[in-house]
Structure 1
Amino acid sequence: MIAEKLTQVMRNIEIAKGNRNRYFDENVKLIAVTKNHDVNAMREAIDHGVKFVGENRIQEAMQKVETLDRSVEWHLIGHLQTNKAKYAVDLFDLIHSIDSERLMAEVNRVANKINKIQKVLLQVNVSEEKSKFGISTKEIEPFLDSVGQYDHIHLCGLMTIAPHYNNVEDARPIFRELFQIFCNLKLKSFKNVSMDWLSMGMTNDYMVAIEEGANLIRVGTGIFGQRQY
Protein backbone atom coordinates (compact mmCIF):
# COMPACT_ATOMS: atom_id res chain seq x y z
CA MET A 1 0.00 0.00 0.00
CA ILE A 2 2.77 2.46 0.92
CA ALA A 3 4.68 1.59 -2.25
CA GLU A 4 1.58 2.25 -4.36
CA LYS A 5 0.86 5.56 -2.67
CA LEU A 6 4.49 6.61 -3.03
CA THR A 7 4.45 5.77 -6.73
CA GLN A 8 1.35 7.94 -7.18
CA VAL A 9 2.95 10.84 -5.33
CA MET A 10 6.02 10.61 -7.55
CA ARG A 11 3.80 10.62 -10.63
CA ASN A 12 1.97 13.67 -9.34
CA ILE A 13 5.27 15.45 -8.75
CA GLU A 14 6.27 14.91 -12.39
CA ILE A 15 2.86 16.12 -13.59
CA ALA A 16 3.13 19.25 -11.47
CA LYS A 17 6.69 19.91 -12.64
CA GLY A 18 5.42 19.70 -16.20
CA ASN A 19 2.96 22.50 -15.43
CA ARG A 20 5.72 24.89 -14.36
CA ASN A 21 5.47 26.94 -17.53
CA ARG A 22 6.88 30.14 -16.10
CA TYR A 23 9.34 28.78 -13.57
CA PHE A 24 12.73 27.18 -13.26
CA ASP A 25 12.70 23.41 -13.64
CA GLU A 26 14.57 22.10 -10.62
CA ASN A 27 14.33 18.72 -9.02
CA VAL A 28 11.71 18.49 -6.29
CA LYS A 29 12.79 16.91 -3.03
CA LEU A 30 10.06 14.81 -1.41
CA ILE A 31 10.08 14.78 2.39
CA ALA A 32 8.07 11.88 3.77
CA VAL A 33 6.37 13.15 6.93
CA THR A 34 6.47 10.31 9.42
CA LYS A 35 4.71 11.83 12.43
CA ASN A 36 2.70 9.14 14.25
CA HIS A 37 3.80 6.44 11.80
CA ASP A 38 5.91 3.59 13.09
CA VAL A 39 9.37 2.56 12.00
CA ASN A 40 8.05 -0.40 9.98
CA ALA A 41 6.07 1.96 7.78
CA MET A 42 9.12 4.22 7.54
CA ARG A 43 11.33 1.31 6.50
CA GLU A 44 8.89 0.31 3.78
CA ALA A 45 8.85 3.85 2.38
CA ILE A 46 12.64 4.14 2.54
CA ASP A 47 13.08 0.76 0.87
CA HIS A 48 10.91 2.07 -1.98
CA GLY A 49 12.96 5.20 -2.54
CA VAL A 50 12.30 7.74 0.21
CA LYS A 51 15.55 9.51 1.13
CA PHE A 52 14.29 12.38 3.29
CA VAL A 53 12.04 12.10 6.34
CA GLY A 54 10.32 14.89 8.22
CA GLU A 55 9.34 14.82 11.87
CA ASN A 56 7.26 17.30 13.83
CA ARG A 57 8.33 16.25 17.31
CA ILE A 58 11.88 15.89 18.53
CA GLN A 59 11.16 13.19 21.10
CA GLU A 60 9.43 10.99 18.53
CA ALA A 61 12.32 11.46 16.11
CA MET A 62 14.88 10.56 18.77
CA GLN A 63 13.10 7.28 19.46
CA LYS A 64 12.90 6.43 15.77
CA VAL A 65 16.56 7.16 15.10
CA GLU A 66 17.47 4.48 17.63
CA THR A 67 15.50 1.73 15.87
CA LEU A 68 15.06 2.72 12.22
CA ASP A 69 18.23 1.03 10.92
CA ARG A 70 18.15 3.02 7.68
CA SER A 71 20.25 5.90 6.37
CA VAL A 72 18.13 8.98 5.62
CA GLU A 73 18.31 12.75 5.83
CA TRP A 74 16.30 14.05 8.80
CA HIS A 75 14.22 17.23 8.58
CA LEU A 76 12.49 18.99 11.47
CA ILE A 77 9.30 20.46 10.06
CA GLY A 78 7.42 21.21 13.29
CA HIS A 79 7.69 24.21 15.56
CA LEU A 80 10.93 24.29 17.53
CA GLN A 81 10.97 25.59 21.08
CA THR A 82 14.15 27.36 22.11
CA ASN A 83 14.77 24.97 25.00
CA LYS A 84 14.75 22.01 22.59
CA ALA A 85 17.30 23.51 20.20
CA LYS A 86 20.18 21.38 21.47
CA TYR A 87 18.32 18.17 20.63
CA ALA A 88 17.33 19.46 17.20
CA VAL A 89 20.88 20.43 16.29
CA ASP A 90 22.14 17.00 17.39
CA LEU A 91 19.64 15.18 15.22
CA PHE A 92 18.41 17.09 12.19
CA ASP A 93 20.15 17.84 8.92
CA LEU A 94 17.71 20.66 8.10
CA ILE A 95 15.44 22.63 10.44
CA HIS A 96 12.50 24.13 8.50
CA SER A 97 10.97 26.16 11.28
CA ILE A 98 13.22 29.05 12.34
CA ASP A 99 10.74 31.78 13.20
CA SER A 100 12.56 34.21 15.51
CA GLU A 101 16.01 35.64 15.98
CA ARG A 102 15.99 34.36 19.56
CA LEU A 103 15.57 30.81 18.29
CA MET A 104 18.23 31.29 15.63
CA ALA A 105 20.69 32.59 18.21
CA GLU A 106 20.13 29.53 20.39
CA VAL A 107 20.51 27.14 17.44
CA ASN A 108 23.75 28.91 16.56
CA ARG A 109 24.98 28.65 20.16
CA VAL A 110 24.45 24.91 20.45
CA ALA A 111 25.75 24.26 16.92
CA ASN A 112 28.93 26.11 17.88
CA LYS A 113 29.37 23.73 20.83
CA ILE A 114 29.51 20.69 18.55
CA ASN A 115 31.29 22.49 15.70
CA LYS A 116 28.37 22.11 13.29
CA ILE A 117 27.04 24.45 10.63
CA GLN A 118 23.31 23.96 11.06
CA LYS A 119 21.22 24.27 7.92
CA VAL A 120 17.89 26.01 8.49
CA LEU A 121 14.95 27.51 6.65
CA LEU A 122 13.10 30.67 7.63
CA GLN A 123 9.42 30.04 8.28
CA VAL A 124 7.22 32.74 6.75
CA ASN A 125 3.58 33.22 7.65
CA VAL A 126 2.51 34.57 4.27
CA SER A 127 -1.20 34.57 5.09
CA GLU A 128 -0.52 36.06 8.55
CA GLU A 129 -2.78 33.55 10.25
CA LYS A 130 -2.71 34.06 14.00
CA SER A 131 -2.74 30.31 14.57
CA LYS A 132 0.49 29.75 12.62
CA PHE A 133 4.12 30.42 13.45
CA GLY A 134 6.44 32.36 11.17
CA ILE A 135 7.47 35.90 10.42
CA SER A 136 5.59 38.21 8.06
CA THR A 137 6.80 38.80 4.53
CA LYS A 138 7.85 42.36 5.35
CA GLU A 139 10.17 41.07 8.07
CA ILE A 140 12.13 38.70 5.81
CA GLU A 141 14.92 40.98 4.60
CA PRO A 142 15.70 42.51 8.03
CA PHE A 143 15.82 38.96 9.39
CA LEU A 144 18.23 37.84 6.68
CA ASP A 145 20.45 40.84 7.45
CA SER A 146 20.77 39.55 11.02
CA VAL A 147 21.86 36.04 9.99
CA GLY A 148 25.37 37.28 9.21
CA GLN A 149 26.31 37.43 12.88
CA TYR A 150 25.67 33.69 13.36
CA ASP A 151 28.61 31.75 11.93
CA HIS A 152 27.19 28.32 12.76
CA ILE A 153 23.97 28.94 10.83
CA HIS A 154 23.45 28.45 7.11
CA LEU A 155 20.00 29.74 6.21
CA CYS A 156 19.33 28.07 2.89
CA GLY A 157 15.76 29.00 2.00
CA LEU A 158 12.19 29.71 3.04
CA MET A 159 9.25 27.65 4.29
CA THR A 160 5.56 28.31 4.60
CA ILE A 161 2.37 26.47 5.53
CA ALA A 162 -0.69 27.59 3.62
CA PRO A 163 -4.12 27.64 5.28
CA HIS A 164 -6.11 24.44 4.75
CA TYR A 165 -8.56 25.41 2.02
CA ASN A 166 -11.36 23.20 0.73
CA ASN A 167 -10.35 24.37 -2.73
CA VAL A 168 -6.58 23.99 -3.08
CA GLU A 169 -6.54 26.66 -5.77
CA ASP A 170 -7.09 29.18 -2.99
CA ALA A 171 -3.57 28.42 -1.78
CA ARG A 172 -2.01 29.31 -5.13
CA PRO A 173 -1.61 33.07 -4.49
CA ILE A 174 0.19 32.34 -1.21
CA PHE A 175 2.68 30.00 -2.86
CA ARG A 176 3.12 32.39 -5.79
CA GLU A 177 3.83 35.32 -3.49
CA LEU A 178 6.53 33.49 -1.54
CA PHE A 179 8.10 32.15 -4.73
CA GLN A 180 8.40 35.69 -6.07
CA ILE A 181 10.04 36.81 -2.83
CA PHE A 182 12.34 33.79 -3.02
CA CYS A 183 13.40 34.70 -6.57
CA ASN A 184 14.03 38.33 -5.63
CA LEU A 185 16.17 37.25 -2.67
CA LYS A 186 18.24 35.05 -4.97
CA LEU A 187 19.46 38.25 -6.61
CA LYS A 188 20.68 39.72 -3.31
CA SER A 189 23.56 38.88 -1.04
CA PHE A 190 23.34 38.14 2.68
CA LYS A 191 26.08 36.60 4.79
CA ASN A 192 25.43 32.95 5.76
CA VAL A 193 22.36 32.90 3.51
CA SER A 194 21.59 31.16 0.23
CA MET A 195 18.22 30.73 -1.43
CA ASP A 196 18.41 27.05 -2.36
CA TRP A 197 15.18 25.59 -0.99
CA LEU A 198 11.57 26.69 -1.01
CA SER A 199 9.58 24.38 1.28
CA MET A 200 5.89 24.65 0.42
CA GLY A 201 3.05 22.19 0.05
CA MET A 202 1.67 19.23 1.96
CA THR A 203 -0.54 16.27 1.06
CA ASN A 204 -3.57 18.35 0.13
CA ASP A 205 -1.81 21.08 -1.88
CA TYR A 206 1.67 19.92 -2.93
CA MET A 207 0.88 19.83 -6.64
CA VAL A 208 -0.18 23.47 -6.60
CA ALA A 209 2.91 24.33 -4.55
CA ILE A 210 5.19 22.65 -7.10
CA GLU A 211 3.46 24.43 -9.95
CA GLU A 212 4.16 27.69 -8.15
CA GLY A 213 7.86 26.97 -7.56
CA ALA A 214 8.30 24.73 -4.50
CA ASN A 215 11.32 22.42 -4.61
CA LEU A 216 10.75 20.90 -1.16
CA ILE A 217 7.38 19.34 -0.37
CA ARG A 218 6.20 17.67 2.84
CA VAL A 219 3.88 14.70 2.31
CA GLY A 220 2.67 12.37 5.06
CA THR A 221 -0.91 11.17 4.62
CA GLY A 222 -0.41 10.92 0.86
CA ILE A 223 2.24 8.24 1.46
CA PHE A 224 1.32 6.55 4.73
CA GLY A 225 -2.42 7.06 4.97
CA GLN A 226 -4.13 8.54 8.00
CA ARG A 227 -1.98 8.97 11.10
CA GLN A 228 -2.26 6.44 13.91
CA TYR A 229 -2.92 8.21 17.22
Structure 2
Amino acid sequence: MIAEKLQEVEEKIAAAKARRAPELTDDVTLVAVTKNHDVSAMQEALAAGVTNVGENRVQEAQGKYEVVGPDAATWHLIGHLQTNKAKQAVKIFDIIESVDSTHLAKALDKEAGKIGKVQDVLVQVNLAKEPQKSGVFEEDLPELLKLCDALPHLHLCGLMMIAPDYEDRERCRPLFRRMHEIFMEAKEMPFAASNIKYLSMGMSHDYEMAIEEGANIVRVGTAIFGPRQYGKTPH
Protein backbone atom coordinates (compact mmCIF):
# COMPACT_ATOMS: atom_id res chain seq x y z
CA MET A 1 0.00 0.00 0.00
CA ILE A 2 2.73 2.49 0.98
CA ALA A 3 4.82 1.39 -2.01
CA GLU A 4 1.88 2.05 -4.34
CA LYS A 5 1.19 5.46 -2.84
CA LEU A 6 4.87 6.32 -3.02
CA GLN A 7 4.93 5.46 -6.71
CA GLU A 8 1.90 7.70 -7.32
CA VAL A 9 3.63 10.60 -5.56
CA GLU A 10 6.84 10.05 -7.53
CA GLU A 11 4.87 10.05 -10.79
CA LYS A 12 3.19 13.31 -9.83
CA ILE A 13 6.56 14.83 -8.93
CA ALA A 14 7.90 13.88 -12.36
CA ALA A 15 4.83 15.38 -14.06
CA ALA A 16 5.12 18.60 -12.04
CA LYS A 17 8.81 18.89 -12.95
CA ALA A 18 7.87 18.57 -16.62
CA ARG A 19 5.47 21.51 -16.28
CA ARG A 20 8.11 23.83 -14.81
CA ALA A 21 9.66 26.74 -16.63
CA PRO A 22 12.79 25.69 -18.57
CA GLU A 23 15.12 27.59 -16.24
CA LEU A 24 13.96 25.51 -13.25
CA THR A 25 16.31 22.59 -13.66
CA ASP A 26 16.90 21.44 -10.07
CA ASP A 27 16.06 17.86 -9.25
CA VAL A 28 13.44 17.34 -6.54
CA THR A 29 14.08 15.50 -3.27
CA LEU A 30 11.10 13.78 -1.70
CA VAL A 31 11.05 13.82 2.10
CA ALA A 32 8.59 11.20 3.35
CA VAL A 33 7.00 12.71 6.46
CA THR A 34 6.71 9.90 8.98
CA LYS A 35 5.49 11.90 11.97
CA ASN A 36 2.58 10.29 13.84
CA HIS A 37 3.14 7.01 12.02
CA ASP A 38 4.56 3.81 13.47
CA VAL A 39 8.18 2.90 12.85
CA SER A 40 6.86 -0.07 10.83
CA ALA A 41 5.39 2.40 8.32
CA MET A 42 8.77 4.13 8.11
CA GLN A 43 10.47 0.79 7.53
CA GLU A 44 7.97 -0.09 4.79
CA ALA A 45 8.66 3.25 3.07
CA LEU A 46 12.42 2.74 3.33
CA ALA A 47 12.06 -0.73 1.81
CA ALA A 48 10.09 0.86 -1.06
CA GLY A 49 12.97 3.21 -1.85
CA VAL A 50 12.51 6.28 0.37
CA THR A 51 15.87 7.86 1.19
CA ASN A 52 14.79 10.97 3.15
CA VAL A 53 12.44 10.99 6.14
CA GLY A 54 10.92 13.95 7.97
CA GLU A 55 9.89 14.20 11.62
CA ASN A 56 8.27 17.05 13.55
CA ARG A 57 9.27 16.22 17.11
CA VAL A 58 12.65 15.23 18.49
CA GLN A 59 11.26 12.74 21.01
CA GLU A 60 9.24 10.80 18.43
CA ALA A 61 12.13 10.82 15.99
CA GLN A 62 14.51 9.50 18.62
CA GLY A 63 12.46 6.36 19.17
CA LYS A 64 12.43 5.57 15.44
CA TYR A 65 16.09 6.51 15.06
CA GLU A 66 17.03 3.95 17.69
CA VAL A 67 15.16 1.26 15.75
CA VAL A 68 16.18 1.96 12.14
CA GLY A 69 19.53 3.64 12.75
CA PRO A 70 21.26 6.72 11.37
CA ASP A 71 22.24 5.23 8.02
CA ALA A 72 18.79 4.07 6.94
CA ALA A 73 17.90 7.51 5.57
CA THR A 74 18.72 11.19 5.61
CA TRP A 75 16.86 12.57 8.63
CA HIS A 76 15.08 15.94 8.33
CA LEU A 77 13.59 17.88 11.24
CA ILE A 78 10.69 19.83 9.76
CA GLY A 79 8.81 20.95 12.88
CA HIS A 80 9.35 23.85 15.24
CA LEU A 81 12.32 23.20 17.49
CA GLN A 82 12.55 24.51 21.04
CA THR A 83 16.04 25.55 22.03
CA ASN A 84 16.06 23.12 24.96
CA LYS A 85 15.83 20.25 22.43
CA ALA A 86 18.80 21.46 20.38
CA LYS A 87 21.18 19.03 22.10
CA GLN A 88 19.09 16.01 21.10
CA ALA A 89 18.31 17.37 17.64
CA VAL A 90 21.91 17.71 16.49
CA LYS A 91 22.55 14.07 17.46
CA ILE A 92 19.72 12.75 15.29
CA PHE A 93 19.06 14.98 12.31
CA ASP A 94 21.15 15.40 9.18
CA ILE A 95 19.20 18.51 8.17
CA ILE A 96 17.25 20.83 10.47
CA GLU A 97 14.81 22.66 8.19
CA SER A 98 13.14 24.83 10.81
CA VAL A 99 15.70 27.36 12.06
CA ASP A 100 13.53 30.40 12.74
CA SER A 101 15.43 32.65 15.16
CA THR A 102 18.90 33.85 16.12
CA HIS A 103 18.38 32.26 19.54
CA LEU A 104 17.80 28.81 18.04
CA ALA A 105 20.66 29.19 15.56
CA LYS A 106 23.09 29.97 18.37
CA ALA A 107 21.81 27.05 20.47
CA LEU A 108 22.26 24.61 17.58
CA ASP A 109 25.73 25.95 16.86
CA LYS A 110 26.72 25.48 20.51
CA GLU A 111 25.39 21.92 20.75
CA ALA A 112 26.78 20.85 17.37
CA GLY A 113 30.16 22.19 18.44
CA LYS A 114 30.10 20.03 21.55
CA ILE A 115 29.94 16.86 19.43
CA GLY A 116 32.28 18.09 16.69
CA LYS A 117 29.54 18.36 14.08
CA VAL A 118 28.76 20.95 11.43
CA GLN A 119 24.95 20.88 11.29
CA ASP A 120 23.17 21.38 7.97
CA VAL A 121 20.28 23.82 8.41
CA LEU A 122 17.56 25.56 6.43
CA VAL A 123 16.02 28.83 7.58
CA GLN A 124 12.24 28.75 7.83
CA VAL A 125 10.46 31.77 6.36
CA ASN A 126 6.95 32.80 7.41
CA LEU A 127 6.14 34.57 4.17
CA ALA A 128 2.42 35.01 4.86
CA LYS A 129 3.15 36.24 8.41
CA GLU A 130 0.73 33.77 9.93
CA PRO A 131 0.72 34.25 13.72
CA GLN A 132 0.22 30.53 14.42
CA LYS A 133 3.26 29.49 12.37
CA SER A 134 6.96 29.65 13.08
CA GLY A 135 9.43 31.25 10.72
CA VAL A 136 11.29 34.49 10.22
CA PHE A 137 9.58 37.31 8.34
CA GLU A 138 11.00 38.22 4.94
CA GLU A 139 12.36 41.56 6.15
CA ASP A 140 14.29 39.86 8.96
CA LEU A 141 15.68 37.06 6.80
CA PRO A 142 19.02 38.64 5.76
CA GLU A 143 20.07 39.12 9.38
CA LEU A 144 19.39 35.48 10.27
CA LEU A 145 21.09 34.21 7.11
CA LYS A 146 24.21 36.23 7.89
CA LEU A 147 24.29 34.92 11.46
CA CYS A 148 23.96 31.29 10.33
CA ASP A 149 26.75 31.84 7.84
CA ALA A 150 29.02 33.19 10.58
CA LEU A 151 28.39 30.39 13.10
CA PRO A 152 31.20 27.82 12.76
CA HIS A 153 29.14 24.71 13.52
CA LEU A 154 26.21 25.48 11.21
CA HIS A 155 26.16 24.96 7.46
CA LEU A 156 23.37 27.01 5.94
CA CYS A 157 22.17 25.28 2.81
CA GLY A 158 18.74 26.69 1.99
CA LEU A 159 15.29 27.96 2.89
CA MET A 160 12.01 26.38 3.96
CA MET A 161 8.42 27.59 3.89
CA ILE A 162 5.04 26.23 4.99
CA ALA A 163 2.26 27.70 2.86
CA PRO A 164 -1.05 28.80 4.40
CA ASP A 165 -3.83 26.22 4.46
CA TYR A 166 -6.04 28.05 2.00
CA GLU A 167 -9.13 26.19 0.79
CA ASP A 168 -8.33 27.48 -2.71
CA ARG A 169 -4.81 26.15 -3.15
CA GLU A 170 -4.14 28.46 -6.11
CA ARG A 171 -3.92 31.30 -3.59
CA CYS A 172 -0.61 29.74 -2.52
CA ARG A 173 0.96 30.02 -5.96
CA PRO A 174 2.08 33.67 -5.61
CA LEU A 175 3.69 32.80 -2.27
CA PHE A 176 5.57 29.85 -3.75
CA ARG A 177 6.67 32.07 -6.62
CA ARG A 178 7.86 34.82 -4.28
CA MET A 179 9.63 32.27 -2.11
CA HIS A 180 11.58 31.08 -5.14
CA GLU A 181 12.56 34.69 -5.86
CA ILE A 182 13.81 35.05 -2.28
CA PHE A 183 15.73 31.78 -2.69
CA MET A 184 17.42 33.08 -5.83
CA GLU A 185 18.26 36.35 -4.06
CA ALA A 186 19.77 34.41 -1.13
CA LYS A 187 21.95 32.42 -3.54
CA GLU A 188 23.53 35.71 -4.62
CA MET A 189 24.39 36.86 -1.09
CA PRO A 190 28.15 37.04 -0.39
CA PHE A 191 28.35 34.20 2.12
CA ALA A 192 31.62 32.91 3.52
CA ALA A 193 30.64 29.33 4.27
CA SER A 194 27.01 28.82 3.23
CA ASN A 195 25.79 27.09 0.10
CA ILE A 196 22.17 27.97 -0.66
CA LYS A 197 20.97 25.02 -2.72
CA TYR A 198 17.70 23.78 -1.16
CA LEU A 199 14.23 25.32 -1.32
CA SER A 200 11.91 23.19 0.78
CA MET A 201 8.24 23.94 0.21
CA GLY A 202 5.13 21.97 -0.59
CA MET A 203 3.30 19.24 1.31
CA SER A 204 0.72 16.56 0.43
CA HIS A 205 -1.94 19.02 -0.69
CA ASP A 206 0.26 21.44 -2.64
CA TYR A 207 3.60 19.81 -3.51
CA GLU A 208 2.88 19.71 -7.25
CA MET A 209 2.28 23.46 -7.33
CA ALA A 210 5.37 24.08 -5.20
CA ILE A 211 7.50 22.09 -7.65
CA GLU A 212 6.05 24.03 -10.58
CA GLU A 213 7.18 27.23 -8.84
CA GLY A 214 10.70 26.06 -8.03
CA ALA A 215 10.75 23.83 -4.92
CA ASN A 216 13.52 21.23 -4.91
CA ILE A 217 12.53 19.59 -1.60
CA VAL A 218 8.92 18.57 -0.93
CA ARG A 219 7.64 17.16 2.36
CA VAL A 220 4.91 14.58 1.76
CA GLY A 221 3.25 12.52 4.48
CA THR A 222 -0.50 11.91 4.13
CA ALA A 223 -0.31 11.18 0.39
CA ILE A 224 2.11 8.32 1.15
CA PHE A 225 1.04 7.04 4.57
CA GLY A 226 -2.61 8.02 4.79
CA PRO A 227 -4.17 9.99 7.69
CA ARG A 228 -1.90 10.54 10.67
CA GLN A 229 -2.37 8.32 13.69
CA TYR A 230 -3.16 10.93 16.28
CA GLY A 231 -3.85 9.85 19.81
CA LYS A 232 -1.34 7.03 19.95
CA THR A 233 2.39 6.99 20.45
CA PRO A 234 4.20 5.62 17.39
CA HIS A 235 6.66 2.86 18.27
- TM-score, normalised relative to structure 2: 0.95
1:175 touches 1:209 (CA, 8 Å); kept in 2?
yes
RMSD: 1.1
Query: How far does the alpha carbon of each residue in 1:112-146 deviate from its partner, in whole angstroms, 9 at most, with x for none?
Result: 11110000000000000111111111111122222
SS of residue matched to 2:144: helix
2:87 touches 2:108 (CA, 8 Å); kept in 1?
yes
Unaligned runs of 5+ in 2: 231-235
Tell me the equivalent position of 2:167: 166
Tell me the equivalent position of 2:18: 18
- Give, in angstroms, the shift of residue 184 of structure 1: 1.6
For 1:105, give the aligned amino acid: K
- TM-score, normalised relative to structure 1: 0.97
- Give, in angstroms, the shift of residue 89 of structure 1: 0.3
- Give, in angstroms, the shift of residue 22 of structure 1: 4.7
Unaligned runs of 5+ in 1: none
* Distance in 1 (alpha carbons) for counterparts of 2:73 and 2:40: 14
* Distance in 2 (alpha carbons) for counterparts of 1:9 and 1:71: 21
- Give identity over the alignment, percent: 51
For 1:175, give the aligned amino acid: F
Tell me the equivalent position of 1:83: 84
SS of residue matched to 2:196: strand
SS of residue matched to 2:163: coil
* Distance in 2 (alpha carbons) for counterparts of 1:43 and 1:144: 35
2:227 paired with 1:226:
yes
SS of residue matched to 1:195: coil
Query: How far does the alpha carbon of each residue in 1:39-86 deviate from its partner, in whole angstroms, 9 at most, with x for none?
Result: 111111111110000000111111111122571110000000000000
Tell me the equivalent position of 2:233: none
For 1:221, give the aligned amino acid: T
SS of residue matched to 2:20: coil
Where in structure 1 do 4 or more consecutive aligned residues deviate above 3 Å?
A: none
SS of residue matched to 2:199: strand
